[in-house]
Every structure is written in C-alpha cells, then in structure tokens.
Structure 1
Amino acid sequence: MSEPRSADDRLELIRQLNSLSQPQFNELLFALRPPGGVVPGTASAQGDRSKALLDWAEGPMGCGLSKLEQVLEKTRNQHLRKFSSSSEAQQIRIKLLRRLKNDINLRLETSLHKLVKIDLQMEEQRQRVGQHPQLELVPEDSLESAHSPVNRVFRPLGVPEASETLEPAQRLLTVLERSDVQGKLLILGEPGSGKTTELVALAYDLLTQGEQDEREPIPIIFELSAWKVGTSIEQWLIEQIQAIYKVPPKISRQWLKDEWVIPLLDGLDELGLENQRKCVIAINEFLDGQAYPYSVVCCRREEYEQGQIDLHELNGALYIQPLTPAQMQDYLRDLNRFSLWQNIEDSPELLELSRQPLFLTMLVVAYQGRPIGNEAELFNAYIEKQLSDPRFQGAYPPQKAPSQPKTLHYLNWLAQQMEKAGKTEYLIEEMQPSWLSPVHQGLYGLSVGLMGGLSVGLMGGLSVGLMGGLSVGLSVGLWGGLIFGLLGGLIFGPDKTIEP
C-alpha cells in the first residue's frame, strides 16, 4: 500500500496530472503500466483519467505515490527540455511574461474596483455548461486579497454549516483545480458585475506561477470581439499573439500544440448573437480533446442565455450575483459616503443600476451633491467629473486642453469607429484609414501618393542628375514624382486599409 499523503499533496498531484497533454499522459501510462481497464481511454475527461490513475497508484496493487511522482517529474522535465531547447523561444517567453505582467498590473491599478474592495457572492451554475449544479461561493469578510476586488468562501449548496475558506489570491485557482472542473470554467454576470476584473486578477495569479516555474504555461487574455467568423480558434489565437505581442507564428503554434498557453477568453457577448453562436461552436471544437491546464470564458448572462448553445466543453460555470442593499450600504459606509444611499434608494432605476459594482463605484466618483436619478445622468456626471479633473489633462499644458464638447465629440466618433471594427480596447497603432470619412480618406490617399511619388522622384532625379546635371535631374524627378504621386493617390487612394 502507498504511503499516506496529505490532502494538499494529493491535490497538487491531481493538478499536475490534469495539466499533462494527452501525449504526455499516455507516456506516463506507458511507463507505469497500470492494468488494462483501470484508467479510462482517451475519450474520457482528463480529470477522470487522472483520478483513476491516482487511485490505482495509492491502492494495494498500485505502483505507489513515490513512483508516480518520480515518473511524473521525469515526464514533465522531458517536456520542459523540449520546450526550452529553442533559446529564441525561451527569450520570447521571458519578454512576453514581462509584457503581460506590466499590462495586468496597469489594468489592476486603473480599475474602478481598486477604490475599495467589494465582497461579491458567486454561485456555481454548472447547468450553464451542461453539468449538474453543485457549489456556491459566498463572501468572507475576514479575508482580503491584494489583487482581487472580492472576498469569498466556497460552500456546497444546501450545506451551510460545511464551508471551506479559500486563500484570497488563489480562490479562483482553487475552483479551477478541482477534479470536476479540470480548469475549464465559464464566468457569467450582468454588465458591470466584475467579470473582466475577475479574469484579470486570475491572470495575475497564473502569471505569478509562470514566473516562478518555467514549466507553468502562459496565461493570455484575448478579446473575443476581435474573432473573425470562419477562423478556427487556434488560428485566431496564433494571429492575435503575433499582432499584439509580436511572437512569430511558428513559436506560438508550437506553444499551442504543447499547451503552453492558457487562453482566457473575454467578451463573448460582444460578438452579436449570431456570431456569438458561431464562436461558441468554434470554442467547443477547439477544446474538444484538448488537455489545456486552464481555459476560461467570460460572457454576460443574458446574451449567453439568448445564444441557446452551451459551452459544453467547459466543466464549470460561476455567476457573479448582483449586490444586495446591505452590501451597497456597507460599501458606502466604508467610504464615508453613506449620504448617497438616500439618492440611490429614492430612484428605482439607480438602485437597480447600483447593484453592479462598476456602476456603484462610478456613482461614488461622479456624485458631487446634485441628484442622479438614472443611467444617463450617472454617465454624464461621471464623464464630466473625469474630463474636469486636472490629473487627466494628458500632455496638454495648463488651460490648453480641448473643451469638453470638443473632447466628447471626438470620443463619440472614436467609440463609433471601434464598435464598427469590433474592438473594445483602443490602441493608436490599430487605427485604420477606413475609419475616416470619405473626404478624409481621399485626402489621406492623396497624401500617401504624394509622399511616395516625391520619394521615388527624388531618388530618380538624383540618379539622372549624376549623369546629366543635378539641377535638371532633381527638377524632372520631383515634378514627375509630384504628378504621378497625385495620380496614384487619386486612382488608388480610396483602397488603402492598413491591417495590423
């Protein structure tokens, strides 16, 4: 019989077994040689296979946990050597981890939820992914996380006296590592409930693991709003990693093949209902038969329900519940802004809106003594407060910033262009000429044609000038470049979209 191990040791063993790719797991089985029928075949879930192997290893007829750990470590190290064999890939991994950590830190620092932590209730709704309901997450006031805006306790439904307190920074990780979840999780919630903030906090914890252990995969947040219909999720991930992080496709493709990337997929609801359904099918196809250590998808509850197609390749689903009046009162009291409660309570629309953490924190920032009774007034007050704050004047000298109406005009224009392009995050390098009006597109085409024509004309003029006189050559070259550049801009100018 195998030597006894603590619950933590067994949990770590099952986590490592679940993180193996299918080829690695098969190598492990070949080395340990359990009797036929003990471990289910490859069609079974990875968690079921891992549990069966662990039960056999520590049983009276098994190889023993020490032998299992020894062979498991050898298998993982062999895979690590294969992964690390390319110095180029290793250097890119180090740089990517640094870039991702900086991005995540910035998002956490600038999050509205950073103002003060709010205890949220999260209920497990496994039926959303075709599983049976089982668990609930409820708040625990005595816990506090440095990175997550929420504190929770893990409790089985219907057994209130039996609760398990989770470590703050590892709370979602603990849920992901459960044998029944196997790292495949759906996060649902209402607009402003904190889904993306939760995903960012999870990415931070996973990145910390990746920095400490080269064998840990790399978590990357992807915006599903950028997914193109007809593109496989794997190919799309490769394209996104190249476009955003400049990782060569051959390396990212190998990373995905070896399951060294943790895809954290945000914004499923931003695709529109029809494309959302197609994306769900593509995600299910991508995850089918894969053994990725973790895969997390975020979506608004209402849009997910309207899609009527489940992410059945995921094993768990958490729903972030709206705040209760008592939670809102505690939050305002902690900020010494309890006077706001009367304003909220007097407006049914504002009360419903404030049940989401994002809008409640916006109200705290925006409230300047005047009543706010609905969503439009809240957004107007928040925008006005942010635009008038001296800290947000950017690079403009004092008193030189554009007027609020002008700023709002261009922000509105930019938001419209981003919505048309299916983008949720503004990056100046991703702006496209197609965003311009037809008149400005024509001017842009003329400018590009003129600059190109003058450059070619200048080089040609210099070449001619060396043979027949510099002044003549430059004159001919510049005039020729000007004429042909303008003609080229007029003819080809309208079609010049620059894709990233």
Structure 2
Amino acid sequence: MELGLEERPDAIPQPFSEITEIGDNSHQPIPKDDKVIDIFDKIGTGATLLILGEPGSGKTTTLLEFARDLIARAEQDTNQLIPVVFNLSSWAKERQTIADWLVEELGNKYDVPKEIRETLVKKQRLLPLLDGLDEVKANYRNDCILALNQFKKDYGAELVVCSRIKDYQALSNRLNFQSSVCIRLLTLEQVCYYLDSVGTELTGLRTLLSEDTVLQELAQSPLMLNIMTLAYQGVAVEDLPKTDVVEERRRQLFDAYIEKMFKRRKTNQRYNKGQVKHWLIWMAQRMVKESQTVFLIEKMQPSWLINGKQKRIYRLMVGLMEGLMFGLMEGLMVGLMGGLMGGLMVWLMVWLMVWLMVWLMVWLMVWLDKELTEEIKTVEILDINWKKILINRVKGGLMVGLMVGLMFGLMVGLMEGLMEGLMVGLKGMLMGGLMGFQGYVFKISAFA
C-alpha cells in the first residue's frame, strides 16, 4: 500500500516569510508516483528534508524504504554518500554535538572501528537518516533542534529527520531545512481495498469497519490497521467488540492483539501471561527512561535494578568476584613466599595479613571506582586504560597502605613492646638476682 505525501512548507523557516502569502503555505499533495528519494533529489546538493506524520503513520517505514533506495544507488556509484539510519532518542543522554554523537552511535549500533567512524563523519561521507525526534525527552527537544542546525551549518551535511507532527509543532525552535513533507493518513477507500485484497479471513473486520466510525478513525494509521488484521483475523463480525469511545476501542484492540500473540506460540510457556505482561511493561518503562528504542541485552545497566537491596547484592557480587581474582593471585604469591621462608607460624601470619590487605583493597577499589559497578560498557576491542587504572589503584593503594600500615604498626609495636618488656624484665630480674646473691655472699664472708 503506497502512502501519500503532502508538502509542509510551514514546518520550516521560509525565506522572505514576511511577504509570503498565506495561500503559499497550503498543504499541497505530492504526485502519487513521487517517492521520498525523488523529492530529495529535487532539492539538490546539500539537501535537507524533514518528514512529519501522525503516530503510526509509517514514518520509520518510509525512512527505511528511502535508505534502501539510497543503498541501491550507492552500490552502483561509490562516490555517493553512505546512508545510515540512527535514532535521535539516545542523543538526550549526553547532549553532545551531533558530530560526536554520530561517531559514538556508529560504534554502538554498527560496530564501526573508531578511526573509520571519525573519518566518515569528519570528511562528510555519511548521509544521516535520523528517526525519532519526538522520542527525545521533551525538555531536550529544542536543544536537539539547535544541535542539528549547528551541525548543518558547520558541516553543510545532507540530512533527513523524522518526527511526529504534533510534537514538532509544539516546539519553539524549527529545523533550518530546505524542504518538509508530511505522510498522509490512509483513506477509507485505501483501507477497504487492502482488506478486500487480503481474503475472507478478514470479512468480519471489513463488515464492522463499514459501519463503525471509531474503527475507521483508528484504521487510518497503517500501524493500527496492521494490528487489526492480526488481532481480528478469522473473527466473525458478531464476536468483535463494539464501542463508541476511541480509547476504549484502542484498548480492546491491543488486548485482542496481545492474546493472539500468546496463542501463536505453540511451545510450553515458562512464565504465565501476567508475568510476561508485567515484565514487558517494566522493560518498556526502563527503555523510555534510558532513551532506548531497541532492546539489547548488553544495554541493560545496574541502574535498572528495582530497589536498594538488589543494588547492594550486585555490588557485593562484584566485590566477591574481584576478591576471588585478587585472592587467587595473592594466594599463589603467599604460598611461594611461605614455602621459601619456611616455618608454619610465619606462613600463617603472612597469609592472614595478605588476605586482610586483599579484602580491604577490593572493597576500597569498588568504593573509589564506581564505574566498575554503576555502568556496564560494551567494547569492540579490549582497550585497557592503564593510566586511569594506575591513578585509581594508586589512590586506593595509598589509603589501603595507610590503613594496613597503621594496623601493622600497632600490632608490631605491641608485639615488640611486649617482647622488649619481657626481655628487659627478665634481664632486670637476672641482674637483680645476681646482685642480691653477690651481696648475700659478701655479708657471709664479712661476718666469717
């Protein structure tokens, strides 16, 4: 089903807007055979295009079809820019320049080596296709538009951005782009033609749609129409739920869709429906909070843990694992030293002291370097920052050394004090005894 497009010149700043007549900003339909790539080509070198649409109207699908056409062209001509699809939702996390963000996203999403991705951005070899301006957190969207405008100004780059129309219209800033189009909603004629072409499985839906205006309104969205065809496939018209409230109809539709998805899976379910719904809702909420649109297990972070107890357990496990690794290395060293030095008491004292130092060091390192537990990062190549590790370990080592030094000092001081006290006492007792004995002998000899 071909989606219709219309011009939206009012969505972007117009040159000489003070003298432009109102009629010039009317929403003119674009010829049916014109695709997005045709509209983009007409703009010329340095083209920038804004694609608007209602929720579920097919913005992402249109962008991906555009990317497919550009890729086909680039495969025939290596001088063409490389089209790459990104989602702007992740920009809000650090709010860096668009150039820096593109470099980072090329690594995160496409595993492009750092040197190559920096060159691609710096030498303007990319054609960024940016989806989801409306998925940027609301309080950062105006800043995102400013960042996009600055990127366009600095690099003169070709650029395409997609957004929900109402979210874009609510912003105070506008993209300084050359052209803007909006995806038109489906007409009732298009919807009916599509349902008739599918087959008899959707006869019930087709019949209800002809008389239900609420259902007709929802069916204007390609996404909702697709959900309808899955949820109501093979359902008789008398079994379909009815309501005059749009939100209630939408809820009924989603409930039917979810139920159909459960029935499609023939394998034994490890979790019941309630658990699956609960954790899917939880995951969706976390993804929205973390500005993520695609779930990747490697993107799960310790911050996703629900309560303080879970976070403490996580940190404890990290500390235990580090302790085991350090302990194994230290144990081998102590065993070797103890064997060479000999003596059971010496070996035990050294072993106990080293283990005490290891555990103090582990807990202090975890406390000082919270990046070990607060964020999990994926890497393409094992890249060890020895400078950072050295600084953190030196800080930790100084504190551990101070603590252990004080403990050793106290223990050694007490032991040496006791030993010296005993030695002095014994020495004094012997000297006193000898002197006393000599005095006694002297007296006896004098009286004799």
User: Shared topology, TM-score over 0.5?
Assistant: yes
Q: Give the aligned partner of residue 111 of structure 1.
A: none
Matched, 1:298 2:298: no
Q: Give the aligned partner of residue 187 of structure 2.
A: 324
Q: Give the aligned partner of residue 137 of structure 1.
A: 30
Matched, 1:125 2:8: yes
Matched letter for residue 218 of structure 1: I
Post-superposition offset of 1:491: 8.6
Matched letter for residue 257 of structure 2: Y
Q: 2:288 aligns with which of 385, 401, 419?
A: 419
Q: Distance in 1 between matches of 2:4 and 2:156?
A: 30
Q: Give the aligned partner of residue 468 of structure 1.
A: 338
Matched, 1:497 2:375: yes
Q: Distance in 1 between matches of 2:160 and 2:43?
A: 16
Q: 1:203 aligns with which of 67, 72, 82?
A: 67
Post-superposition offset of 1:377: 1.3
Contact preservation (8 Å) 1:181, 1:315? no
Structure with higher Rg: it is 2
Q: Give the aligned partner of residue 453 of structure 1.
A: 323
Q: Give the aligned partner of residue 390 of structure 1.
A: 265
Post-superposition offset of 1:289: 5.4
Contact preservation (8 Å) 1:450, 1:486? no
> CA 1:259–1:135 in 2, change beyond 3 Å: closer, same or farther?
farther
Contact preservation (8 Å) 1:122, 1:320? yes
Q: Distance in 2 between matches of 1:128 and 1:223?
A: 21
> CA 1:182–1:483 in 2, change beyond 3 Å: closer, same or farther?
closer
> CA 1:173–1:474 in 2, change beyond 3 Å: closer, same or farther?
farther
Q: 1:219 aligns with which of 60, 83, 86?
A: 83
Q: Deviations over 1:184-230 (max 9, x none)?
A: 11111000000001111111222222333322221111111111364
Q: Bigger shift: 255-264 or 181-190?
A: 181-190
Higher helix share: 2
Q: 2:297 aligns with which of 425, 428, 436?
A: 428
2:60 aligns to what SS in structure 1? helix
Contact preservation (8 Å) 1:186, 1:297? yes
Post-superposition offset of 1:273: 3.2
Q: Deviations over 1:68-125 (max 9, x none)?
A: xxxxxxxxxxxxxxxxxxxxxxxxxxxxxxxxxxxxxxxxxxxxxxxxxx22211111
Q: Distance in 2 between matches of 1:429 and 1:224?
A: 19
Q: Distance in 2 between matches of 1:406 and 1:422?
A: 24
> CA 1:193–1:456 in 2, change beyond 3 Å: closer, same or farther?
same
Q: Distance in 1 between matches of 2:129 and 2:329?
A: 50
Matched letter for residue 448 of structure 1: V
Equivalence map 1:225-304=2 (5 Å): 225-228=89-92, 230-288=95-153, 290-292=155-157, 294-304=158-168
Q: Distance in 2 between matches of 1:339 and 1:182?
A: 50
Equivalence map 1:187-202=2 (5 Å): 187-202=51-66
Q: Give the aligned partner of residue 355 of structure 1.
A: 220
Q: RCO higher in 1 or 2 (8 Å CA, sep ≥ 6)?
A: 2
> CA 1:256–1:488 in 2, change beyond 3 Å: closer, same or farther?
closer
Matched letter for residue 128 of structure 1: A
Contact preservation (8 Å) 2:209, 2:215? yes
Post-superposition offset of 1:454: 0.8
Post-superposition offset of 1:137: 2.6
- Unpaired runs of 5+ in structure 1? 1-117, 139-151, 155-170, 392-397
Matched, 1:344 2:222: no
Q: Distance in 1 between matches of 2:85 and 2:68?
A: 11
Q: Distance in 2 between matches of 1:475 and 1:245?
A: 49
Q: Distance in 2 between matches of 1:487 and 1:272?
A: 36
Q: Give the aligned partner of residue 66 of structure 1.
A: none
> CA 1:289–1:417 in 2, change beyond 3 Å: closer, same or farther?
closer
Percent identity reads 34
Contact preservation (8 Å) 1:445, 1:490? no
Post-superposition offset of 1:310: 1.8
Q: Distance in 2 between matches of 1:225 and 1:201?
A: 21
Equivalence map 1:177-196=2 (5 Å): 177-179=41-43, 183-196=47-60
Q: Distance in 1 between matches of 2:328 and 2:112?
A: 37
> CA 1:137–1:456 in 2, change beyond 3 Å: closer, same or farther?
same
Matched letter for residue 458 of structure 1: L
Post-superposition offset of 1:482: 6.2
> CA 1:317–1:453 in 2, change beyond 3 Å: closer, same or farther?
same
1:468 aligns to what SS in structure 2? helix
Q: Deviations over 1:404-441 (max 9, x none)?
A: 21111111111111011011111111111101122211
Q: Distance in 1 between matches of 2:331 and 2:5?
A: 71
Matched letter for residue 389 of structure 1: R
Q: Give the aligned partner of residue 153 of structure 1.
A: 33
Q: Deviations over 1:425-460 (max 9, x none)?
A: 111111111011222111111111100111100111
Post-superposition offset of 1:304: 0.8
Q: Distance in 2 between matches of 1:260 and 1:490?
A: 44
Contact preservation (8 Å) 1:188, 1:195? yes
